[in-house]
Structure formats: C-alpha cells, structure tokens
C-alpha cells in the first residue's frame, strides 16, 4: 500500500505546477470512496487516480452489461459474457494508471438500510447511480462526520453534479494564480490615498483585494502595511487614509503586491438544496434549462420509486407521467421562485434517460473529479452547489419524429443510439476523421472516439499523427499510456490501446508533423479533402494556426481545444459557417527591453529570461560558432597570417577567446565557473555603479536609480552558500559537457571548495564600455557582429598561434558539443544553471528569489496540465463533433471557456464567418473559393478577363505564395499579359492546380481583396 506519493517524481511534474506541493501532499494523504463505476463513475475514478490520492475504494454491486460497453471503457465483451462485477473488473485497469494509489473494491449495495459507519475512513464520498433516498441519507451522515460529499448522475443527454463540503470549508487558495504585482508611479496624500501604476500599466487588481507595499520611498509608513483596495480604473486604485502626519509625502518608487488569503465557504445540505438549488449557469442562452434538468432529475427519482424502473425509451406516456410528477413537486414547495421550468426539457429527459451521451459524461466526469480534489486539498474555489450540463442540440427535431430510430438493439451503442438515433450513429461510424496530436487531449479524444464507434463502418477511419515519444511525465494525464510504453511513439501506442476499448475501430497511426515540410508529400490538399473533419490536439499556437489554414484551404471543419492548468477552451470551426481559428488574433507578447534584461531587471522573471539567454549564448551558440569557424577555416596557418595582417575574418575574435579559455580537465571547468560568478554577479554590479553612481540624476533631475530601476549590490563569493556553489558546479558541468570532459560521479562539494579556493580571481578594473539604457529597444546588440580594431585582430592571431604552438592542435580544435536545452533531465545541470543564475541575479538586485519549480516552468516554457481539465475539454469538444456530423445551424454550436479552479464554465455561440462585400449581390467569406480551369494556351490576360466577367472589376494584383505574378503598378508586368499561365506559374509535371490571391481595383485608395482563386490546369 502506498503511504505518501513522492511529489518530486517526474510522474507528477506538470500537475505540481497546477496544485503546488502542499496540495499534493494533502492529496497524497486522502482516501476517497466512489460508489458506482458506470460511464460517469469510471471517468471520475480515472481522473482522481491519475491525480495521485492516497487510496480509492470502488464500491459497486452491479454486473457488467452490454449497455455498459457504450460508456465504461475499462470493460469488455468477455466481462459481460462472464457476468463479472463492474468494480472488480475496473480496479485492475484503474491500478495500472498510477502505482502510487492504493485501490480497494466493495461489491455490496449502498441502500437505505446498510450501516454507514465504514464511511468514516474517507475524506470524501462520491455517489453515482444511487437513489435519491440514499443520497440524502449518505449526505446527512457525511455532514455530521466532517466528510465531504459529492453526487453526480447522467441521464441521456443531461448530466448533474452536486457538492456539499460542510458548514465551514476553508480554501487556502481560491484561484491558484500568482499574486498580482505592480510598480507605483504616484501615491496621493488624501483620504483615501490614490495610487497610480507606473507608466500607465494595468494593475490587474480587483476591488476588495488585500495588498501590501514594499520599497516605497518617502511614504515609508506604507511599507509592510496591508489594506483593502477599491479599483478606480485599470491604472488607479484607492487604499487607506494617507492624509495623516504619519504618512510623509511619496517621493518615488514602491511595489504593491496582492496578498492571497484563505477563504471559508458554507454549504447547505442536499435536502435543503433540492427545493431551492444554487445553480451554476454556463449557457445564458438557455437560462431555464438547468432548473428544468434539476426538477426532472428529482422527478426521475420519484418515478423510479413508484414504478421500480426508469421511463421507457421515447415513451410519450411515461414522459407525460414525469411532467405530472414535476408539477406535483412544485405544489409541494419545490423550485418556487427559482424560475421557469421547460416541459420540453422534461420530456426529452424522459425519452433519453436510459441512454448516456458519452461526450457530456466525459465532461462532467472531469469537473466532478476536480471537485473531489478540491474537497481533500482545500485548493481552489468549490462548486456552489449544483452544475447541470446538457447536449439538447444533438436531438434534431426531424429525427425526434421518428422514434423508431432511437430504440435499443442490444449492442454496445445502445446508450448513444437512445440519445442521437440510428441515422446519426451511422454517420459517426462512417466518419473519416484526422486528428493532429496524440498527447493529453488526444488520448481523451481517442477514448471518446472508441466509445462512440467513430470509424467502425464501411470506409470510416481515424487517422492520427504525432511525432512525439512517450515520457514518464506524460503518464499523469495521458491515460492510454503505461510505464512500459515510455520512449515508444504516442500515436501507434494510443492506437493499440484504444482498440482494446473497441476492437472494431479502424485506426491509422502516423508519426509525421503536419507542417510545411510535409505539405507536398504526406499531407497535401488532397489528403485533407479526403477527410470529413479535422481535430486539433496540439499544444502550441503556431501549429494550430497552420492546421486551421490548411482546413480553410481544403474547406473542412476543424475542432480546436486546449488546456493550461485548470483553464481550458474549445472552439468549433464549421466550414462555410463560422469564423476560423485565425479570425481572432491573440494579443502579441510584450517584448522585454534589452536594457532591462541586460542591466536593469525589475522582477525575478527578468532574471530568469537573462539566465535562459545566458545558457543559450554560452553553451549552445558559442560552441556552434566555434565549430562553424574551424570547419570553414581549416587552414589554421592561413587564419593566423590573415589576422596578423589585420584582415578581418568573421567569428575569429570569438573563436580565439574560446580557444584561449577552453578547459581540458574538470578542475579547469570549475575554475571557469568561479570566474563566471565574479563576472556576472560582482564585476557587472561594480561596472553599473561606476557608470551610474547612486546619486546619478537624469536630464529632468530625477534620480536615475529609482523604481523600477534597482541599484545592484556586488555579490561576494561564499563557498558555504549553497546557491553560489550550485552555480559553480552547474557551470562546470555544462562546460565539461561542451568539451567532452569526464565529470566526477558523484561530485564532491569539498573537492569543489578546494578547487575554487585556488582560483586567481582578477579584481574589477573600470572600463568605458557603454551600457544601453534605451527601454524602447528590445534587440540584442550583443548578437550583432561588432566592429573590431586592428589591434584586436592581431591579438587574436597571436593568441591562436601561441595556443596551437604549445598544445596538441587536434585536441584544442576538436569539435565542441553544443548543449540542447532539456528541462526534464535533472542530472544534466541545465535547470541547475538557470535556477542558480536567476536567483543570484535576483540577490544582486535585491529581488525576491523564486523556487526551482517555478523557474523550471518558465524557463522550459512548460504548460501546466492536469487530467481533470483535459477530460472536461475533450468531452465538451466531442459534443461539438456530433453536432458537426449532424450538420446543424450555427446557433446550435457552442464554443466554451472553463476554469475549474473558480469554477467557471461559459458557453457561447461561435462567431459567423466574416463576409466581405465586393459589390451589391457579390460577396464572399474566407471559406469561399473561385475555381478557374485554364486550357494549355490560357494566358494571364485570359485570367484577368475571367475575373472581370465574374466581378465587373479590373484585377490589379495576382500572387502565388510569396511570388508576385502580376502587379498593375509595375510597367514591366504588362508584357506578361500575353504569357501563358503555365509559364508564369512555372508549372511542373504533376502539378494540378495553383492557389492564387488577387486584388481588385477600387475607387478608393485601397484595393479590394478578392476571394482565394484555385487555378486548375486542364
């Protein structure tokens, strides 16, 4: 039995960025009971096992049935045939997901008579597929014994979740965000005092936030003080009364930082909440639906008590009875003053309640699992108290008239068939789907595809590509992968694993990147045109934009989704109907001024970026330049002679410096590490203070060294300081790797201290080297080739000659090994160097240090990830997949944004494709394309004539890719009018068409962009 998970294990590396160490430790001491492992229960169980709780008990008396195979992906046909217990079968598969979690099984029923004392051993109890009487009874017991309670259910296209964490539930961190911070420009002396942010940068605070102050000059009384604020504008906010004598006038500087504090939440019991529910509304276009589902769920429980069954599939008689029960409940005081109830929703609930719409089940399972993690960790804001999800749009009115389409056939797809009908089920089974990426979202999507039977009939097929290999850190959220799969391809492994869920799947796994390099060979336009739909499961914006562009060109719908920690988004992009992914541009990243990184860091992030760039420069770029120089200039004697004659050779100065300092032993590497410490953290500070003494003033009389500029303090090396020693060791490690020098294993700190004690550290000598102070320039001037003097060239030649005459030239000119940054290998010294360098630079500028985990995340551009968000997002986008296959109108689709930490779930109709009007009666969207077929003798003039006939406008520009085919403003291009298009486009054998861009002449100054043109060769 696992006692406490090792939170430093790389298995949890991405999750630790979301939850933090303290929450991980609390979770690793927690035990949870999960009752019912049907489709929803197994989804919840899978997610909390991946998260790494101490133990999970799975309780379920049910026997595996054919219906279960539609949603319970850990069961198979053999389990149904041999009538195995669902809990006993599921535990084996759940145990494979995480070796650190202890999993037990119970097969007894949880009913109205059993003894509940055994529940006292759990911190959280989760009920699914239980009666309302049992839910109330267990909830009452849990409240009286301090146990957190969750119940969740799926009926047809509807899902519901309820949470009760007691009267006083303390949350240590409500949102998981880093505390906000801003620099102060001015502080007024009045009641209340008003703070303006530095350079009109948005402060990001909210009214009632508690903040504290530091580094305020003048009004020093504020330093260390905490107060509640009121936001006045994005750039100003008021604080406490600063008009008193104890508050001296503000002179300059200061930093205001948000203070994060715990918050206590109070919950009502289930019995109270049944009558007057607190509902989280996710879709404001269906405001009455959550309350309608709530009333319908209660009515279903009453129906089952009376009839000992659920309503029959698509039975009008049973639907009327359910509506009658809802009316009875209202007369008993339920839902009064809560809102309107839709009878149509109640009827659809009755029709479909024996089914289970898998995508909604997956989404609800992810959200419910996150609530269970909140209950045992006290991290993030809990749900207050009900959430209902629905997929009403998948039920098309025309299909609903044909009730025979929804009847069961006693196969694994019955639960889905009840919800969408036989015709739509077959559309899914015959679907040709291309998914790009097979990581966390990809694994969840593959599971959803298997349960929904996508690509199982006729020519139906799933093609999935991912060029990545499985790493240990993937196992925590990419649930199809196991430890034995590490270093195997993701796509092929996922294909094998998902066929165990549904052997009928037709899957083609590939290991290619979808990019410009494969555009003409593996994934040409014809490949995309053969697909019915494309799904993105990517983790970077550039790749998403590229796939989006290819889908627009091929006129294929695209499903887009992504996650970052507890946040996620989905976007449905329907060909010819909605806007595309590229229609909305993210705001560009703000570049950090070069002078800020180089000399004037204001926060620890600046120090991290500096350290990351220093890593690349020292251990990757310079070794690469060294190799390039000596492979280009193989005649060393010629190099020496040319330099001695003051002839400039590109890269020679840097090559001579590297040759001069190139180490040959481990001790040499340690010495370099010690000298680099002095250069970066002592001499640099002294040089800044030499150029700008502390009393320096700017041209307008203001102090040069005032916030956000911080005066540096030269750091004195101390071998007893762990960070000082770590920097030297990490630097030595990297230089040793660059130069193929054996590193001691293990590295002995006493040996390092002995070596550094012998290093001759030169004193600082003042120079006139210019320091850049222009904050508007973000370019790295060091990356540009500097003009060197003749003396420097001669000196470089002399250095090279001296070294080659005294040392083995083959050895000193041996190729170096440039470092390739690898964040996940803690033994290579990469993160050690960046972490120690960033924090030492922080010490030098009196900036608060950051922990190694945070530095690793930022330096490694690591996207925080957690299985619960991934499951929820994949479920939500799978709902849209079904809608696209059904071919619905735009008002039926939903984009979504969620933040499970808050929790927030917002759904909205996607924006329509923007239509550009050329003239009255002639317009186009980015999805439209004009196809033109040209005969062999077809000329550019013929093309222009065709376009004028279509538009009545003159075409003034024709382009292909980056090539200008025709531009009216260029006189020489008039000669091209008589030339054949095949010549102008440089047609080759096998070319079938070219995609062109055009512009029409306008009466205004600006030309009119025309639609994309596909020019075919006949």
pLDDT over 80 at 784, yes or no: no
Question: Is residue 940 domain-resident?
Answer: yes
Give yes or no: residues 93 and 238 share one domain. Answer: no
Residue 24's pLDDT band (cuts 50, 70, 90): very high
Task: Give mean pLDDT, residues 540-552.
Answer: 95
Residue 89's domain is classified under what CATH number?
Answer: 3.40.50.720
Tokens of 764: 């600082």
Question: Is residue 78 domain-resident?
Answer: yes
Give yes or no: residues 243 and 97 share one domain. Answer: no
**161: which strand partners?**
152, 387
Question: Is residue 370 domain-resident?
Answer: no
Question: Is residue 496 domain-resident?
Answer: yes
> Which of the following is catalytic: 151, 163, 595, 607?
595
In sequence order, the 6+-apart residues with CB closer than 8 A to the CB of 949 are: none
pLDDT of residue 4: 39
pLDDT over 50 at 687, yes or no: yes
Alpha carbon distance, N-terminus to C-terminus of the chain: 71
Residue 957's domain is classified under what CATH number?
Answer: 3.10.290.60
Q: How far is 328 from 607, CA to CA, in rounded Å?
A: 66
Q: How far is 681 from 718, CA to CA, in rounded Å?
A: 12
Give yes or no: residues 611 and 753 share one domain. Answer: yes
Give yes or no: residues 143 and 216 share one domain. Answer: no
What ranges make up the beta strands (E) of 342-391?
Answer: 386-390
The last residue of one of the domains, among 259, 291, 315, is 259
Does residue 802 have a cis bond before it (omega within 30 degrees)? no
844-884 pLDDT, tens per residue? 999 999 999 899 999 888 888 899 999 999 999 999 999 99
pLDDT over 80 at 779, yes or no: no
Q: How far is CA 984 from CA 930, 958, 978, 981, in A?
A: 19, 11, 10, 5
In terms of residue numbers, what domain contains 159?
10-168
Task: Give mean pLDDT, residues 717-737.
Answer: 97
Q: How far is 1001 from 657, CA to CA, in rounded Å?
A: 59
Does residue 903 have a cis bond before it (omega within 30 degrees)? yes
Q: How far is 426 from 399, CA to CA, in rounded Å?
A: 14
Task: Give mean pLDDT, residues 76-83.
Answer: 97
Question: Is residue 735 domain-resident?
Answer: yes
pLDDT over 50 at 2, yes or no: no
Find, among 357, 349, 156, 293, the residue nearest to 880 by Cα: 357
Using left for φ > 0, alpha for ψ between -120 and 50, and beta otherwise, residue 609 falls in: alpha
For residues 353 and 321, the answer to whether their CB atoms sit within 8 Å is no
Give yes or no: residues 578 and 613 share one domain. Answer: no
Residue 226's domain is classified under what CATH number?
Answer: 2.40.30.180
pLDDT over 50 at 1017, yes or no: yes
Which residue bears the tokens 């030595």?
Answer: 732
Least confident among 160-169, 890-899, 959-968? 959-968
Domain total for the chain? Answer: 5
Give yes or no: residues 521 and 585 share one domain. Answer: yes
The percent of residues above 70 in pLDDT, for the chain, comes to: 97
pLDDT of residue 292: 97
For residues 1015 and 984, the answer to whether their CB atoms sit within 8 Å is no
The last residue of one of the domains, among 226, 243, 259, is 259
Give yes or no: residues 24 and 50 share one domain. Answer: yes
Tokens of 765: 């000598």
The last residue of one of the domains, among 137, 168, 199, is 168
619-651 pLDDT, tens per residue? 999 999 999 999 999 999 998 899 888 888 989
pLDDT of residue 785: 46
Give yes or no: residues 751 and 683 share one domain. Answer: yes
Give yes or no: residues 597 and 607 share one domain. Answer: no
76 an active-site residue? no
Give yes or no: residues 74 and 220 share one domain. Answer: no
Give yes or no: residues 152 and 86 share one domain. Answer: yes
Q: Cβ atoms within 10 A of the Cβ of 500, count?
A: 14
Q: How far is CA 580 from CA 539, 544, 555, 576, in A?
A: 18, 11, 11, 10
Question: Is residue 376 domain-resident?
Answer: no
Give yes or no: residues 235 and 90 share one domain. Answer: no
pLDDT of residue 919: 85
Q: How far is 846 from 396, CA to CA, in rounded Å?
A: 64
Mean confidence (pLDDT) of the chain: 93
Question: Is residue 865 domain-resident?
Answer: yes
- In what helix (H) or strand (E) does residue 753 lie, and over which residues does it extend? helix 749-756
Residue 587's pLDDT band (cuts 50, 70, 90): low
pTM for the predicted model, two decimal places:
0.92
Residue 786's pLDDT band (cuts 50, 70, 90): low
In sequence order, the 6+-apart residues with CB closer than 8 A to the CB of 319 are: 311, 346, 347, 350, 351
Question: Is residue 274 domain-resident?
Answer: no
For residues 403 and 312, the answer to whether their CB atoms sit within 8 Å is no
Find, among 782, 788, 784, the residue nearest to 770 by Cα: 782
Give the ranges where 462-524 is alpha helix by DSSP (H).
490-501
pLDDT of residue 290: 97
Find, among 329, 354, 344, 376, the residue nearest to 126 by Cα: 376
Residue 589's pLDDT band (cuts 50, 70, 90): low
Task: Give mean pLDDT, residues 646-670.
Answer: 92
């Amino acid at each position: 039995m696992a006692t406490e998970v090792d939170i430093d294990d790389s298995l949890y590396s991405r999750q630790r960025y979301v939850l933090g160490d303290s929450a991980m430790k609390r979770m690793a001491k927690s035990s949870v009971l999960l009752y019912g492992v049907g489709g929803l229960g197994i989804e919840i169980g899978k997610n909390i096992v991946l998260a790494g709780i101490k133990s999970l008990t799975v309780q379920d008396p049910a026997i595996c049935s054919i219906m279960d195979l539609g949603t319970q992906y850990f069961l198979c046909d053999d389990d149904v045939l041999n009538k195995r217990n669902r809990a006993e079968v599921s535990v084996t598969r759940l145990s494979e997901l995480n070796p650190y979690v202890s999993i037990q099984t119970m097969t007894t029923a949880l009913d109205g008579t059993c003894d509940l004392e055994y529940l006292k051993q759990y911190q959280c109890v989760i009920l699914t597929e239980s009666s309302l009487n049992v839910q109330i009874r267990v909830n009452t017991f849990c409240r009286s014994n301090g146990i957190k309670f969750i119940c969740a259910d799926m009926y047809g296209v509807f899902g519901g979740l309820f949470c009760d964490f007691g009267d006083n539930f303390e949350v240590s961190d409500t949102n998981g965000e880093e505390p906000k911070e801003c620099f102060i420009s001015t502080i007024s002396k009045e009641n209340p005092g008003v703070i303006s942010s530095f350079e009109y940068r948005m402060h990001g605070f909210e009214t009632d936030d508690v903040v504290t102050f530091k580094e305020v000059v003048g009004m020093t009384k504020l330093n260390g003080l905490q107060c509640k604020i009121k936001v006045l504008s994005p750039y100003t906010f008021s604080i406490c009364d600063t008009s008193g004598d104890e508050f001296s006038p503000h002179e300059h500087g200061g930093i205001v930082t948000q203070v994060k504090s715990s918050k206590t939440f109070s919950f009502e019991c289930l019995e109270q909440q049944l009558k007057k529910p607190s509902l989280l509304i996710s879709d404001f276009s269906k405001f009455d639906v959550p309350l309608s589902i709530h009333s319908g769920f209660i009515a279903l429980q009453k129906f089952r008590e009376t009839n000992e069954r659920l309503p029959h599939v698509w039975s009008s008689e049973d639907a009327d009875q359910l509506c009658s029960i809802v009316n009875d409940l209202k007369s008993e005081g339920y839902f009064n003053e809560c809102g309107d109830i839709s009878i149509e929703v109640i009827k659809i609930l009755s029709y479909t309640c024996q089914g289970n719409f898998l995508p909604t089940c997956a989404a609800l399972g992810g959200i419910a699992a996150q609530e269970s993690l909140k209950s045992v960790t006290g991290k993030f804001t809990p749900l207050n108290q009900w959430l209902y999800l629905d997929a009403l749009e998948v039920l098309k009115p025309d299909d609903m008239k044909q009730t025979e389409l929804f009847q069961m056939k006693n196969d694994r797809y019955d639960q889905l068939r009840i919800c969408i009908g036989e015709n739509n089920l077959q559309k899914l089974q015959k679907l040709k789907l291309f998914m790009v990426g097979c990581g966390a979202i990809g694994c969840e999507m593959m599971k959803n595809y298997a349960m929904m039977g996508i690509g199982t009939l006729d020519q139906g097929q799933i093609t999935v590509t991912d060029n990545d290999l499985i790493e240990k850190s993937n196992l925590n959220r990419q649930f199809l992968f196991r430890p034995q799969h590490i270093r195997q391809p993701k796509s092929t492994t996922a294909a094998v694993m998902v066929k165990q869920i549904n052997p009928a799947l037709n899957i083609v796994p590939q290991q290619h990147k979808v990019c410009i390099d494969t555009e003409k060979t593996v994934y040409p336009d014809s490949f995309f045109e053969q697909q019915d739909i494309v799904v993105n499961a990517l983790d970077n914006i550039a790749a998403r934009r590229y796939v989006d562009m290819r889908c627009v060109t091929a006129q294929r719908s695209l499903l887009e989704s992504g996650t970052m920690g507890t946040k996620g988004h989905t976007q449905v992009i329907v060909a010819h109907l909605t806007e595309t992914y590229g229609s909305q541009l993210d705001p560009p990243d703000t570049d950090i001024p070069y002078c800020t990184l180089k000399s004037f860091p204001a926060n620890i992030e600046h120090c991290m970026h500096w350290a990351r760039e220093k890593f690349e420069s020292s251990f990757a770029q310079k070794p690469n330049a060294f190799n390039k120089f000596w492979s280009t200039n193989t005649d060393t004697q010629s190099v020496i002679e040319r330099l001695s004659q003051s002839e400039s050779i590109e890269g020679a100065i840097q090559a001579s410096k590297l040759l001069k300092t190139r180490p040959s032993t481990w001790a040499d590497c340690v010495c370099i590490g010690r000298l680099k410490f002095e250069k970066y953290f002592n001499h640099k500070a002294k040089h800044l203070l030499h150029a700008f003494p502390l009393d320096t003033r700017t041209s307008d009389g203001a102090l040069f060294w005032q916030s956000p500029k911080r005066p540096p303090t030269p750091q004195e090396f101390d071998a007893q300081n762990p960070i000082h020693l770590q920097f030297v060791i990490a630097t030595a490690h990297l230089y040793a790797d660059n130069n193929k020098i054996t590193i001691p294993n293990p590295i002995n700190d006493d040996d390092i201290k002995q070596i550094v004690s012998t290093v001759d550290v030169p004193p600082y000598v003042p120079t006139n080297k210019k320091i850049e102070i222009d904050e508007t320039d973000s370019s790295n001037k060091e990356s540009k080739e500097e003009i060197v003097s003749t003396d420097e060239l001669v000196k470089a030649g002399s250095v090279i000659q001296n070294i080659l005459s005294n040392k083995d030239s083959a050895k000193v000119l041996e190729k170096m090994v440039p470092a390739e940054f690898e964040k996940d290998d803690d033994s290579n010294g990469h993160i050690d160097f960046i972490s120690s360098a960033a924090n030492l630079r922080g010490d030098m500028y009196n900036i608060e240090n950051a922990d190694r985990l945070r530095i690793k995340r930022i330096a490694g551009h690591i996207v925080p990830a957690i299985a619960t968000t991934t499951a929820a997002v994949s479920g939500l986008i799978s709902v849209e997949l079904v809608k696209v296959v059904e071919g619905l109108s735009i008002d039926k689709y939903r984009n979504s944004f969620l933040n499970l930490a808050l929790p927030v779930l917002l759904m909205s109709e996607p924006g329509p494709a923007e239509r550009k009007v050329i003239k009255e009666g002639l317009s186009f969207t980015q999805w439209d394309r004009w196809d033109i077929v040209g005969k062999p003798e077809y000329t550019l003039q013929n093309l222009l004539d065709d376009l004028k006939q279509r538009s009545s406008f003159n075409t003034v520009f024709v382009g292909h890719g980056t090539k200008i085919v025709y531009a009216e403003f260029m006189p020489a291009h008039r000669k091209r009018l008589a030339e054949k298009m095949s010549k102008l486009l440089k047609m080759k054998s096998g070319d079938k068409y070219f995609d062109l861009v055009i512009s029409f002449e306008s009466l205004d100054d600006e030309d009119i962009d025309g639609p994309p043109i596909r020019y075919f060769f006949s």
